[in-house]
Amino acid sequence: MPPGRVPHGAIRPRVRQVGFVPRNAQPEPRARARPYPAEAGSPPLADSPASNSLSPVMIPPPRHLSDNLSTFRTPAVPVPEATRRHAGHSPVVGSYDPAESLLGTSSPAPSPPSSDRLIGDGEFSDESWLRRSNSAKLASSFPGGGFDKAVSTADLASNVSAKNTTEKGEGTALEVKNEAIPSSKPLKVKTTKSERRALQESQRAAKAAAKAEGNKSIAAASGRVTSVKAAKQPSQKKDVASAAPSVAASEKKGSDRAPEKDRKKDAPPPRMQFDDKSRVEKAKRRAVVNQTEARNRVELFRHLPQYEQGTQGPDLESKIFQLKPMHPAVYKVGLQFLAGDISGGNARCIAMLQAFQKAIKDYITPPEKNLNRDLTAKISSYVSFFTECRPLSISMGNAIRFIKNRIAKLPLSLSESEAKALLCSDIDRFINEKIIVADQVIVRHATTKIRDGDVLLTYGASCIVEMILLYAHEIGKQFRVVVIDSRPRLEGQSLLRRLIAKGLSCTYTHINAVSYIMHEVTGVFLGASSVFSNGTVYSRVGNASVAMVANAFRVPVIICCEAYKFHERVQLDSICFNELGDPDAILKVPGRMDVNYLDNLQNKENLQLLNLMYDATPSEYVSMIVTDYGMIPPTSVPVIVREYRREQLLM
């Protein structure tokens, strides 16, 4: 295990982390500086620091132990790097101390890339990812240049000479020689023939490199200095380019850098992956809510946040006076989310919007600030607070997007009070049009699909399904309801209670019996938390099984979902995006003292508890989606998303 790498769970290799070395960001320069001379003499060590940046999954770059071709390669790699490095630092010309020169030269170089990688993680498309893995490979090969030299004198000598030639051209030859020579000194083996040949080839390579440098390194060098300090994305990109072999690199660099930046801007911000230790640490430092993480997490779901329930409430309550920027309404709603007092997509969304509304009403633009920007930032801070309380639902995400869009589109000519009034009325309109009226429309549509004598099945408690059933009952349709429920939330019971109070005839059973009850059912009505572009329905865990059973029994499955919950994302499974509930909830059976087999097992290391909140129903199990735009097949969700977006922009 490389130094500085934090021991991690059982299965480490995660492809997304390939090539990113957040953990050894600090230790690396030290490790490099200290053992360098020693390393030079010990080939086996060549693996360790260089491969620090390599993920276990990645194929390590060829080390070229005896391959003469390496000579062609190595000089080209380190040279521009070296020159650039020095351009930024006080020239240590003439200094022969290897440690010093190395400290001066190499320490800044490896560290920025690694920290960059950390920042950049997840923000890139696959394409850039490919490039990055490439860059990682190359970047790792550049410190390795030294080891190569150490390994074979042929390489070594050629390196030196190559550097000499190129550096002369650049005018900073000396200390590069310094860098190279100490490592060369300890072993001087006489492999004359190969040496000579290597020399030739390296010279040829150097010439090419020098040519390449003429157009690239000078410009890059000055850029590099500043960017190293900033330690941000661009510097890494320069690493990519400069580390890439010879001419190809220079070509690529010029063309690629700018688009890369744009792409980064376009790409949506990455979702927090909670198995990424360092990011989690960072997030924690910022966090208001002090969540303790649950210990034993299921491997596949490590990227999702999971907290111990019930510990944060009091802590947060005590903090109320410390949290200056948080509006009390927002604070209250956040606490309610945390405690689970408000649940259900619509309810949460409305609560959040109303909290925002109150916050906007009380908002006063600070002096010297712009309402549009400051309010957006405010809203963002509220949103991150809500996220800490409980992960946002997709519907909430859409609503937030709407608000931010409205704020951004506010005409500058408006006075503050006008702008606030406008925003509040916009929020009201959103709640009214997209949720309340939409629900009414959905109810109208869906009741046309209820015929006399139907047996309708529903799962859990969806407020829209409840409205449909009650309305259909009100207008005198004769039907029976089967409510399917499941542990641990038993939401169906509350629905059942309300339905019975209204005089509907109901059957209640648990999901275990769904295949038994399904044969008498004529229609399945389900709610949804979101519907994705590919028609996948994302809803309370258990809906997918019900839909699957219904499909097997050829019972039509009708999903009722407001169009504002649609999302343009495509999701195939319920793993990559989900929410974890309290694991203890499935462990304990409340009120059953006799079923206590799992008592005190929460912290057993070989027990992993998984309490998923949502699942994804594939579109082939869905017969119809009822939205406020009418009844549509699941294949038409993208059309609605498209139209809806446009409308939202106009609204």
Partner 1 sequence: MWRRSASFILDKEDNAAQPPPPPAKPDTLTLSLSSPPPPTATTIAATINPPSSFSSSMADTLQNPNPKISAYYQTRAAHHGVVSSDWLAQAQAVAEPHLPEGWARSGSAAEPGGGGGGGRPFSVTDEFNNWRQQPDLAEAVAAIRALAAVIRASEATTMMELEIELKKASDSLKNSDTTSISLTAGCDLFMRYVTRTSALEYEEFNSAKSRLIERAEKFGEISQKARRIIAMLSQDFIFDGCTILVHGFSRVVLEVLKTAVQNKKVFRVFCTEGRPDRSGLRLSNDLAKLDVSVKLLIDSAVAYTMDEVDMVLVGADGVVESGGIINLMGTYQIALVAHSMNKPVYVAAESYKFARLYPLDQKDMVPAERPIDFGVPIPAKVEVEKSARDYTPPQYLTLLFTDLGVLTPSVVSDELIQLYL
Site string for partner 1, 515-554 (x = CB under 8 A): --------x-------------------------------
Q: Can you tell me which of 623, 641, 645, 650 binds partner 1, judged by CB under 8 A?
A: 623
The closest of 284, 289, 373, 379 to 327, measured between CA atoms, is: 379
Is 124 a binding residue for partner 1 by CB under 8 A? The answer is no
Q: Considering only the stretches 156-164, 208-216, 358-366, 635-643, report the one whose residues sit in contact with partner 1 under the rule CB under 8 A.
A: 635-643
From start to end of 332-460, where are the E strands?
A: 454-459
- Minimum Å gap between C-beta 468 and partner 1 is 14
The smaller minimum CB distance to partner 1, of residues 43 and 638, is found at: 638
Compare residues 69 and 552 and give the one whose CB is closer to partner 1: 552
Q: Which of 474, 462, 471 is nearest to 540 (CA)?
A: 462
- The token duo for 117 is 């990688």
- Which phi and psi (to 5°) does residue 243 adopt? -75, -25
State the minimum distance, in angstroms, from the CB of residue 644 to partner 1. 10
Work out how close the CB of 636 gets to partner 1 at its nearest, in angstroms, rounded to a whole number.
4
Q: 483 φ, ψ to 5°?
A: -105, 120
Q: Is 639 in the site for partner 1 (CB under 8 A)?
A: yes
Alpha helices in 245-364 (DSSP H): 246-266, 277-286, 312-318, 328-339, 345-361
Q: How far is the CB of 220 from partner 1 (least distance, A)?
A: 49
Do the beta carbons of residue 649 and residue 405 sit within 8 Å? yes
57 - beta bridge partners? none
CB of 425 to partner 1, least distance (A): 24
Cα→Cα distances 240→131, 136, 138, 184, 615, Å: 8, 8, 7, 27, 40
Q: What is the DSSP letter of 288?
A: S
Torsion angle in degrees (nearest 10) through CA of 517, 518, 519, 520: 70
Is residue 407 within 8 Å of residue 395, measured between CB atoms? no
Contact 53, 114 (CB under 8 A): yes
568 is a site residue for partner 1 (CB under 8 A): no
Q: Check residue 469 for interaction with partner 1 (CB under 8 A).
A: no
Q: Is 556 in the site for partner 1 (CB under 8 A)?
A: yes
Q: Per CB under 8 A, does 60 bind partner 1? A: no
Q: Is 629 helix (H, G, I), strand (E, B) or coil?
A: coil
Residue carrying structure tokens 């010029």:
254
Q: Are 267 and 125 in contact, with CB atoms under 8 Å apart?
A: yes
Residue from 407, 438, 640, 641 touching partner 1 (CB under 8 A): that is 640
Q: Is 456 helix (H, G, I), strand (E, B) or coil?
A: strand
Residue 559 sits in the site that holds partner 1 (CB under 8 A): no
Two structure tokens written together for 78: 């380190």
Among 109-117, 424-432, 492-500, 638-646, the segment contacting partner 1 (CB under 8 A):
638-646
Among residues 298, 632, 648, 651, the one that binds partner 1 under rule CB under 8 A? 632
Secondary structure of residue 432 in the 3-state scheme: helix
- In the block, tokens 């006008």 appear at 418
Under the binding rule (CB under 8 A), the answer on residue 618 touching partner 1 is no
Binding flag, residue 354, partner 1 (CB under 8 A):
no
Which among 263-271, 395-403, 599-607, 631-639 is the span making contact with partner 1, rule CB under 8 A? 631-639
566 lies in the binding site for partner 1 (CB under 8 A): no
> Taking CB under 8 A as the rule, does residue 633 contact partner 1?
yes
CA dist., res. 509 & res. 493, Å (int): 10
Binding mask 427-466 for partner 1 (x = CB under 8 A): ----------------------x-x---------------
Amino acid identity for residue 477 in this structure: K
Helix (H) or strand (E) holding 540: strand 537-540
Candidates 636, 645, 648, 651: give the one binding partner 1 (CB under 8 A). 636
**Largest separation between any pair of C-alpha atoms in the chain:** 100
Q: How far is the CB of 447 from partner 1 (least distance, A)?
A: 13
Nearer to partner 1, 249 or 640 (CB): 640
Is 317 one of the binding residues for partner 1 (CB under 8 A)?
Answer: no
> Does the footprint of partner 1 cover residue 187 (CB under 8 A)?
no
> Closest separation between CB of residue 629 and partner 1, Å?
6
Q: Which residues bind partner 1 (CB under 8 A)?
A: 449, 451, 523, 556, 558, 623-624, 629-633, 635-636, 639-640, 643
